Amino acid sequence: MLATVHAGALVGIDAVPVLVEADFTNGLPGFDIVGLPEAAVRESRVRVRAALDANGFTLPKRRLLLNLAPGDLRKGGAGFDLAIAIAVLAACGACPSDALENVVFVGELSLAGELRAVRGALAHVRSALTAGRARIIAPAANGHELALATGIDVRVASHLAEVVAHLKGHESLSVAETNPSHNDPHADADDLRDVIGQGVARRALEIAAAGPHHLLFVGPPGTGKTLLARRLPSILPAPSAAERLDIATIAGVAGLAGNATASGARPFRAPHSLASSVALLGGGEPVRPGEVTPAHGGVLFLDELGEFPPSVLDALRQPLEDGVIHLSRARFSAVLPARVLLVAALNPCPCGAAGRPGACRCTDAALARYHRRLSGPLVDRFDLRVVVCRPSPEQLLGRVAGEPSAAVAARVREVRGRA
């Protein structure tokens, strides 16, 4: 009997609807998967067969054919396991087919049938909602992010047996719920009160958050440039419900989902200076986001800006201007969100000792090469450029706590409210 089950494949930060078709045909016993499956999907037949055996399901001694439609789209990841298992059970009559209509299945299976978390659970929910599906069944391990979804019935399970029992009408599945202890987006954020002195740099942070304006810190090592940048999310306004959903969806696709994203905390990403343009902007097939997209709605921090390859920095100019990344390849094109607040830290010279008498040994040629790495159009993207100096010994010894982030955030909200 031919059985069809709804699933999804991740492409960029979106999930594309996929139809899983299963049928037992005449021939030697086997398990074939067609429809451009990648290695993880091809391996799912081993996990699915083991999970079915562990839960007492016996398959007919016939050839099993699985088709993943559309056939011209590459399917990757282990998130097809649950949909494949349900399709196989429906094809052999062990699961009612009428219970599968308008239901999307997402989840990875262990050999014992336990459901494991998958990347992009919220992306699958949004895809199901767009396609007009009524319900989605996903792993309970993704419940903290799935609780943000609205407009569709989201059910979570911990085991394959629970899903089968639910489809047979024997038991109901739980509704996704978030952890109430993680509802404050600033609860775990670094606080500005930890910063000693640096009045000008603190004021620049506040202006950058209120704008928003891209910010460049210039100063020798040890002056607190990174310390300041990491506290910028703590003074940004809390995201709206729509922004929270976008942030959590992107984090889930990038494999960064957690209680922080579910609570609506602004993201903070700090890629290494050796990152390639693909690592920053995204790429591959299927498309996966780079470091810029997970910073959407939050802060992208580029430490040691002068150490990044010039080609990588120039590739950031268009995303900073448009707020999106356009990826065009021979087989596909994709648009990834990239509305970020850029903060960068730059040493004044290659050795970082400029400004200390007799300490800097950089030649004029070395200084010229160092500053040529930053193109004029990129530097123009920074609305604020601030020189950061070391705090005085009196400030360090006095250790007077600075103004807390909560007070600064209140002023930022007031300014944005007037805009």
**Which position has the higher pLDDT, 237 or 356?**
237
Residues 408 and 260 in one domain: yes
Number of H helices, E strands in the chain: 17, 19
C-alpha 129 chain-centroid distance = 20
Q: Which of 339, 279, 369 is nearest to 315 (CA)?
A: 279
CA distance 124 to 104: 8
Q: Are residues 152 and 192 in the same domain?
A: no
- Residue 176, pLDDT above cutoff 90: no
Distance CA(180)–CA(306), nearest Å, equals 42
CATH number, domain with residue 222: 3.40.50.300
In this prediction, residue 329 carries a pLDDT of 73
Q: Which two tokens stand for residue 393?
A: 């010994």
SS3 286: coil
Residue 261 has pLDDT above 70, yes or no: no
**Helix boundaries (H) for 157-297:** 160-167, 199-210, 225-230, 241-253, 259-263, 277-281
- State the pLDDT at residue 303: 96
Quick one: 150 and 60 in the same domain?
yes
- At 184, the pLDDT band (50, 70, 90 cuts) reads low
Length of the chain equals 419
SS3 for 387? Answer: strand
Res 178: pLDDT: 65
pLDDT at 186 over 60: no
Using one digit for the tens of pLDDT, what is the confidence trace for 10-56?
998 999 999 999 999 999 999 999 999 999 999 999 999 999 999 99
Based on the domain organization, do 166 and 252 belong to the same domain? no
Same domain, 94 and 158: yes
pLDDT score of 409? 96
**Nearest CA-CA partner of 128 in 146, 116, 108:** 146
Total domain count for the chain?
A: 2
Residues 223 and 360 in one domain: yes
Same domain, 240 and 171: no
Q: What is the mean pLDDT of residues 125-153?
A: 95
Which CATH number characterizes residue 54's domain?
3.30.230.10
Reported as a single tens digit per residue, the pLDDT across 85-100 is 999 999 999 999 999 9
**pLDDT tens sequence across 190-207:** 899 988 888 899 999 999
pLDDT at 181 over 80: no
Quick one: which of 394, 347, 397, 402 has its CA closest to 231?
A: 402
Which pair of tokens denotes residue 398? 């006095």
Helix, strand, or coil here: 183?
coil
CA-based torsion, 119, 123, 125, 131: positive or negative: negative
Asked if 230 and 129 sit in the same domain, the reply is no
Lowest mean pLDDT among 166-170, 238-242, 264-268: 264-268
CA distances 153 to 82, 115, 133, 175, 324, Å, are 18, 19, 9, 8, 31
How far CA 274 is from CA of 279, 304, 312, 339, 345, in Å, comes to: 9, 10, 10, 22, 15
| C-alpha torsion 399→400→405→407, nearest 10 | 180
Q: What is the DSSP letter of 18?
A: E
Mean pLDDT across the chain, nearest whole number? 91
Cα separation, 30 vs 383, in Å, equals 63
| pLDDT band at residue 342 using 50, 70 and 90 as cut-offs | very high
Q: Do residue 160 and residue 280 come from a single domain? A: no
Reported as a single tens digit per residue, the pLDDT across 354-399 is: 767 778 888 889 989 998 889 999 999 999 999 998 887 777 777 6
88 beta partners: none
The domain boundary residue, chosen from 110, 142, 175: 175
pLDDT more than 90, % of the chain: 76
What is the residue type of 147? A
State whether the Cα torsion 45-46-51-52 is positive or negative: positive
Structural domain of residue 377, as residue ranges? 182-418
**Secondary element (H or E) of residue 54:** helix 44-54
Cα–Cα distances in Å, from 66 out to 12, 25, 188?
A: 25, 11, 46
Q: Token match 């960029």: residue?
A: 12
What pLDDT, on the 0 to 100 scale, is given for residue 190? 85
- 262 and 282 share one domain: yes
User: Are residues 186 and 171 part of one domain?
Assistant: no
Q: Where a domain ends, among 175, 205, 240?
A: 175
Residues 159 and 225 in one domain: no
Q: What percent of the chain stands above pLDDT 70?
A: 94
User: What pLDDT does 310 receive?
Assistant: 93
Average pLDDT on 54-77 reads 94
Last residue of a domain, one of 142, 175, 208: 175
> Does position 61 have pLDDT exceeding 90, yes or no?
yes
Supply the DSSP string of 33-52, one letter for each residue: EESSB-HHHHTHHHHHHHHH
- Does residue 260 register a pLDDT over 60? no
Is it the case that residue 188 has pLDDT exceeding 80?
no
Average pLDDT rounded to a whole number, residues 253-278 = 83
Write the CA distances from 291 to 33, 46, 80, 180, 251, integer angstroms: 33, 33, 26, 29, 11
